[in-house]
Amino acid sequence: MTSSTNGHGTNGHESNGHVTNGTNGNGAQYLPGSLWEDGLVPEQTIPDQGLSAQKRTYGSSGIGVHDLVPKLGYREYWYPALQLKQLGKRSFRLFGRRKPVQANIMGQDIVFFEGKKGPDGKRNIAAFWNRCPHRGAIFTPKGRCEFDGTISCPYHGYTFDETGDCVAALTEGPESGQVGKMKARTFPTAVVRDVVFIWMGQTEPVPIEEDIPEEFFDPAYIIDTYRTVWPMNWSLTIENSGDNHSSYIHRFRMRRILNLQSFRQDMAYWPGVKVVEQTDKSIAFKPAGPAPHQVYYPGLGAKWPRHTWWRIMPQRTNLLGRNLHVKPFSHEYRLPSIARVHGSGTGHLHMRWATPIDESSNIHFSFGISHATNPLKRLYRKLYLRFWYRTFVVKVTNELEDVPVQRWDRLDPTAPQKLGANDAPIIIWRRRLPLTSRDNIRVWKKGVKIEASEEIEIQETREPVAADD
Ligand code: FES
Ligand SMILES: [Fe+2]
């Protein structure tokens, strides 16, 4: 089961960027409504240049969203799946049976339920493939947690403990030979900060500290967790966090009107990107320098933004007069699907972690992270993160402005793309980080780490590397 649905051997690496005739090279459809891969984009020729319209328009960068990035995500990592508070609920508020919880993760249907209490009073969280090993019935939504730390299949009532063992075949009697012989397919889990993490990889899980950012293990940090589903490929959710779309798409953002930031001068654009740090699992970057809040565009014969008369306050600077919009490490991408934005002057970290559901949706975890040790400051930060940040940054700005532009039926990630200077981190995200990913080291190349010299060849051929070759 693992390899057949793994997402690498068969569908993880189709190349998009070299398709120039409107047909899909391998015949596989990517998304419903994918105009490019469906072959619905007509070929046009521009006579004076001898180029196809597609080539001219898109410039044939050859670096599409899924250039090397797997469509269903990297599997050899821990991912947040759900919040602890979603588990252990009863059918009705005060009575009724406890219900298991279902989630689709990386194309697989998973059921979660609470195991028995351990010596520390905490419960392990069980994660099973959502199919009963007896005759394949689905555990949710009709299955129940009738007995402490177990799940019972809704069909014949075979009951499994948190390790996946069948502990009772209720309709076959106490002497049933199935008990002790049948096992549900389980996935490793861990709970950190009341978030349930799951390991979907086909190799041994790493210690969870390797994948979860350091703030989660430091009690001086407050973390506000918000979970929702974003209707787009997981990789777009990450790329959206680091590209500079803000001065255009969010130009009318509500929170900046409410906190008066709209009356402040802001950078109209990013004059390129400076990469300030790169590791095997991350890239940190910031705008290459400051920029004016309004600028003349010769191609338009006009200035943009067109009107700025209400920006009566100067750009934000620190005490040394340094522009806060260009402070180091303002953006970061981390494997497998983490984007971090360090707030300019606000002292808090806006972190996104996208858990792939399928090719066109992901579980979007938003973590508002703030460092505070003083009890009063902690209270203020908690309220700030819960009410201001979650409402005006995540919901009003991200969900109402970013998502409508990027959702699966509005942005076709299979169309060829032409990347520019501000897209440099995205190029690294699509080309370099896949090569240093644990999936590449452990599975795609079976433990062989690809060196930079091999990168060119991989860029050219982009052959899928099957898990079992
Ligand atoms: S199919 Fe689940 S108990 Fe029979
Ligand atoms: Fe945005």
Best mutation site among 129, 130, 131, 134 for ligand 1 pocket (most ligand atoms within 8 Å of CB): 134
Ligand 2 geometric centre to CA of 215 (Å): 23
Task: Provide the pLDDT for residue 67.
Answer: 81
Residue 431: helix, strand or coil by DSSP? helix
- Ligand located closest to 403 CA: 2
Q: Within 10 Å of residue 30's Cβ, how many Cβ atoms?
A: 23
- Ligand located closest to 138 CA: 1
Taking the C-alpha atoms of residue 222 and residue 379, their distance in angstroms, rounded to an integer, is 10
Q: Are 413 and 237 in contact (CB under 8 A)?
A: no
Ligand 1 geometric centre to CA of 7 (Å): 28
Q: Nearest 5°: phi and psi at 424?
A: -55, -45
Structurally, at CATH architecture level, domain 1-77+201-469 sits in: Alpha-Beta Complex (3.90)
Taking the C-alpha atoms of residue 218 and residue 220, their distance in angstroms, rounded to an integer, is 5
Ligand 1 geometric centre to CA of 144 (Å): 13
Task: Provide the pLDDT for residue 461.
Answer: 33
Instruction: Check for a shared fold between 1-77+201-469 and 86-188.
Output: no
Ligand 2 geometric centre to CA of 413 (Å): 17
Q: Within 10 Å of residue 172's Cβ, how many Cβ atoms?
A: 15
**CA dihedral in degrees (322, 324, 325, 328; nearest 10)?**
90
The full 3-state SS of 247-312, as one line of letters, equals HHHCCCCHHHHHCCHHHECCCCCCCCEEEEEECCCEEEEEECCCCCCCEEECCCCEEECCCCCCCC
| Residue 212: burial class (beta carbons within 10 Å; 0-12, 13-18, 19+) | buried
Q: Within 10 Å of residue 367's Cβ, how many Cβ atoms?
A: 24
pLDDT (tens digit per residue) in 244-295: 898 888 877 666 666 666 677 778 888 889 888 999 999 999 888 888 888 9
The dihedral of CA 399, 403, 407, 409: what is its sign? Answer: positive
What is the CB < 6 Å shell around ligand 1? Answer: 132, 134-135, 137, 153, 155-156, 158
Kindly give the number of the ligand 1 atom that is closest to the alpha carbon of 137.
1
Ligand 2 geometric centre to CA of 249 (Å): 7
Q: Which long-range contacts (CB under 8 A, 24 or more apart) does 293-298 make?
A: 293/265, 293/266, 293/267, 293/268, 294/268, 295/268, 295/269
Task: Provide the pLDDT for residue 210.
Answer: 98
Which residue has its alpha carbon closest to ligand 1 atom 1?
135
Q: Are 352 and 241 in contact (CB under 8 A)?
A: yes
- Ligand located closest to 160 CA: 1
Q: Are 352 and 237 in contact (CB under 8 A)?
A: yes
Kindly give the number of the ligand 1 atom that is closest to the alpha carbon of 156.
3
CA distances from 10 to 4, 400, 459, 467 (A): 8, 35, 18, 9
Q: Which residue has the tokens 């947690």?
A: 145
Domain ranges of the chain: 1-77+201-469, 86-188
Q: What stretch of H or E contains 439?
A: helix 438-439
Fold of the domain spanning 86-188: Rieske Iron-sulfur Protein (2.102.10)
- What protein residues have CB closer than 5 angstroms to ion ligand 2? 402
Give Dmax over CA atoms of the chain in angstroms: 86
Ligand 1 geometric centre to CA of 155 (Å): 5
Which residues of the chain are under the pLDDT cut of 50? Answer: 1-33, 44-49, 51, 53-54, 56-58, 448, 450-469
Q: Which residue has the tokens 């670096």?
A: 63
Task: Provide the pLDDT for residue 351.
Answer: 96
pLDDT (tens digit per residue) in 26-54: 333 334 445 555 555 555 444 444 545 44
- Ligand located closest to 245 CA: 2
Residue 241's closest CA among 8, 434, 397? 397
Taking the C-alpha atoms of residue 305 and residue 252, their distance in angstroms, rounded to an integer, is 12
Taking the C-alpha atoms of residue 79 and residue 385, their distance in angstroms, rounded to an integer, is 22
* Total count of residues recorded for the chain: 469
What the block records as the tokens of 142 is 């009709």
Q: Within 10 Å of residue 126's Cβ, how many Cβ atoms?
A: 26
